[in-house]
Amino acid sequence: MTRLNMRELARKLGVDRSTISRALSEDKAHLVAAETRERIREEARAAGYRPDLTAASLRRGRSHTVGVLVPDLGNETFINVIRTMFRHLDQRVVPPLTPLIAETLDQSGATRHLVQTFLSRRVDAIVSLASTETDADVLRDAAKEAPVVLAIRAISGASFPSALCDDRAGGAMVATHFADRGHKVVCQVQGPPMAATFKQRARGFSEVCRDRGIAEIPHGVFADNATSAAGKRALDALLAASPRPTAVFAHNDALALGIIEAMRHRGLRYPADLAIVGFNNTHLSRVLAVPLSTVDYPVEEVSRHAGELVRNLIGNPGYTVESRSFTPSLIVRASS
Amino acid sequence: MTRLNMRELARKLGVDRSTISRALSEDKAHLVAAETRERIREEARAAGYRPDLTAASLRRGRSHTVGVLVPDLGNETFINVIRTMFRHLDQRVVPPLTPLIAETLDQSGATRHLVQTFLSRRVDAIVSLASTETDADVLRDAAKEAPVVLAIRAISGASFPSALCDDRAGGAMVATHFADRGHKVVCQVQGPPMAATFKQRARGFSEVCRDRGIAEIPHGVFADNATSAAGKRALDALLAASPRPTAVFAHNDALALGIIEAMRHRGLRYPADLAIVGFNNTHLSRVLAVPLSTVDYPVEEVSRHAGELVRNLIGNPGYTVESRSFTPSLIVRASS
DNA sequence: CTGTTAGCGCGTTCAT
DNA sequence: ATGAACGCGCTAACAG
């Protein structure tokens, strides 16, 4: 028993295969007489005909898929951007785009390999939420074969169509907040600077500290990855500094949470012993017994714009792209 | 500028296309002379040749992809199972299987549509973590074209190769724990019973309550979905019951968290005013100021077995399948 | 508006 | 061990 294909369906209906192809397509359906078209669609449905998309992909050179690179599938913010973007696309692209999602875990070399796979599958576009400085070449090469869109993380010195958050402004807001509350010695626990997000957050924060005459001590506390485990390990460095900081900016909520856990372990309390602000406004920040101040990530805007970039760039190589950066907002809660 | 294909590569090397195909494949490489094979592989790499997988898929009738249905991309447990399963598969399947991930949001009808898409793309297998009672027919039909594996959620009355958690035992553990702590009146906040997971957890819990002579009051508190928002809404029902329960079993950690938030809002404390146990042992349960007792989900075992089922069923239709169910374990923390 | 023809790039015969 | 030839199922180009 073999699958029903166009040839058989055409035989049943007494028309040519190409007429079927046209009648079932979205953009060429108007070339078929209304009556024939309905007859074909009716019979296709009744017979349970499903087009073979691997054949269509080969013929068209495009598979109606979008390759998505994400650093970490467990990260709420990335996932929210992906799902919001595809929800957006589903509503306005026919036939729908199937996501191919792959996780890089920020391992160098992962991007190269995964991009190859995407291109082999003839994706219509690639969206990277995982780009780091070292990915520029790979993505530039990829862009010769399929549109490449960056979301969340930019690549400094490279110009790709992008949908971003103004992380620098976000970092600045946190420093301003600390200054306004009278903190004189502060600190940041930075995520890996290979990701532009963290670099910009650090930059915005430090700039305002300088302007407002606040000391950043100790200066460079880097977490090897932006997780709560790394946050836990960072606390020791903060407490060893002299003078000791009275407030800390964690580059995301997971890092903040790690710091909080480590403090609890030592019997310290926030904000009394140390004020804390995170980044992303994840669900978690709202449900802590002492809720976390954090920077709200503009998920909706970033996702929508990323979706629009993908939509416009597909089959539209000359599209003049507007990269955009959306401003986040500080949410002050009890932790600061 | 067109992509480099086998024909061109063959011309460059002075061999036939089919020799290239064999040399680059995993299973037929031995048919090519070692020297020729290396020469071909060398040149393919140097020239940056990437096979067109849409063409290969059409020819083979399989795309080396696996369709994955998941109820909610934001749910840590589902995501962990997916990533663990593919990490497992990546290490032992060549060429690697690309996941096609689709979210059902537990909307009826979503499964039918998404399964069609998967089959149109000629997936090698379908893994559903999202199955509900009403999906049985769709999946049974799908199974005629590609192996279907169930993970996490079974379908009662249908027999698919499955990798599950013994949810009934998990529910029973919670009830036993409550009984041992001397609770006489308890309650459960149930997830939607269309998902077998919740039905089994409820069943295991109720059975033990009956055996140990504990009252379940009010009897059926159902959340329309297993999220913290639904948990929040459930608290009122618990507090209105008479006699009032002293302990509650939430069918997952998100529900438990909602209950906790609602309690905090009312100035109630746990476990003093109400003991709480969740399910899944998500990250969240560990980081609450008063950590949550919960049932640890056997993610590793379930994922590994799901991966093995997929691996064995692909290209092996006669494989005798061993569905398995793994026992979870209760983790008692401060909330109970 | 519909049919005819060709070919996308590969993997698999079958022959040598 | 290699080459020749075919066809997977579809869509595009061209004709009428």
* pLDDT tens digits along A1-17: 688 999 999 999 999 99
**Closest C-alpha among A303, A327, A299, A330 to residue A162:** A303
- Chain-chain contact of A117 with B100 (C-beta, under 8 angstroms): no
**Cα–Cα distance between A317 and A241 in angstroms, integer?**
53
Check if the beta carbon of residue A261 is closer than 8 Å to that of residue B287.
yes
State whether residue B259 sits within 8 Å of chain A by CB: no
The predicted pLDDT at position B157 comes to 87
Domain locations along chain A: 6-51, 64-165+299-328, 167-296
Q: What does the DSSP 8-state code read for residue B206? A: H
The pairing of beta strand A294-296 with beta strand A329-331? antiparallel
Give the pLDDT confidence of B176-234 residue by residue, as tens digits: 999 999 999 999 999 999 999 999 999 999 999 999 999 998 887 999 989 999 999 99
- Residue B1 is predicted with a pLDDT of 62
* CA nearest neighbour of B48 among B2, B96, B3: B3
Q: Are A139 and A217 in contact (CB under 8 A)?
A: no
User: A271: buried, middle or exposed (CB in 10 Å: 19+, 13-18, 0-12)?
Assistant: middle
Alpha carbon separation from B3 to B47, B48, B52, B55, B326 (Å, rounded): 11, 10, 9, 13, 48
What CA dihedral angle connects B227, B230, B236 and B238, to 10 degrees?
A: -50
Phi, psi of B270 (to 5 degrees): -120, 145
What is the reported pLDDT for A229?
Answer: 92
How many angstroms separate the CA of B14 from the C1' of C8?
Answer: 23
Q: Averaged over A246-259, what is the pLDDT?
A: 97
pLDDT tens-place string over residues A117-173: 999 999 999 999 999 999 999 999 999 999 999 999 999 889 999 999 999 999 999
Largest CA-CA distance found in chain A, in angstroms, rounded: 86
Distance, in Å, from the CA atom of B48 to the CA atom of B4, rounded to the nearest integer, reads: 8
Q: How many CB atoms lie within 10 A of CB B142?
A: 22
Q: In this model, does residue A219 exceed pLDDT 80? A: yes
- Please give the CATH superfamily to which domain B167-296 belongs: Response regulator (3.40.50.2300)
Chain D nucleotides near the protein (CB, 7 A): 1-5, 7-13
As given in the structure block, the two tokens for residue A322 are 């507007």
pLDDT, averaged across chain A? 95
What pTM did the predictor assign?
0.95
Domain B6-51 fold is 434 Repressor (Amino-terminal Domain) (1.10.260)
Domain pair B6-51 / B64-165+299-328, same fold: no
Separation between Cα atoms, residue B215 and residue B232, nearest integer Å: 23
Question: How does residue A105 score in pLDDT terms, banded at 50, 70 and 90?
Answer: very high
Give B260's contacts in chain A (Cβ within 8 Å): 287
Domain A64-165+299-328 has CATH 3.40.50.740: no
Distance CA B50, CA B20 (A): 12
Q: Determine the pLDDT at residue A1.
A: 64
Asked whether residue B15's C-beta has any atom of DNA/RNA strand D within 7 A, the reply is yes
CA atoms of B142 and B125, how far apart (whole Å): 10
User: Which A residues in the span 211-240 are in contact with B, Cβ-Cβ below 8 Å?
Assistant: 228
Six token digits for residue B213 = 């002579």
Of B83, B129, B126, B165, the closest CA to residue A78 belongs to B83
Residues of chain B under the 50 pLDDT cut: none
Of A283, A297, A127, the residue nearest B283 (C-alpha): A283
Q: Is residue A24's pLDDT more than 70?
A: yes
pLDDT at position B144? 94
Position B62, amino acid: R
Residue B248 β-bridge partners: B187, B276
Three-class DSSP category at B190: strand
CA B8 – C1' D1 distance (Å)? 21
Interatomic CA distance for residues B131 and B20, integer angstroms: 43
Looking at residue A5, what is its pLDDT?
94
- Does A288 touch chain B if contact means CB atoms closer than 8 Å? yes
Distance A17 CA to C4 C1' (A): 11
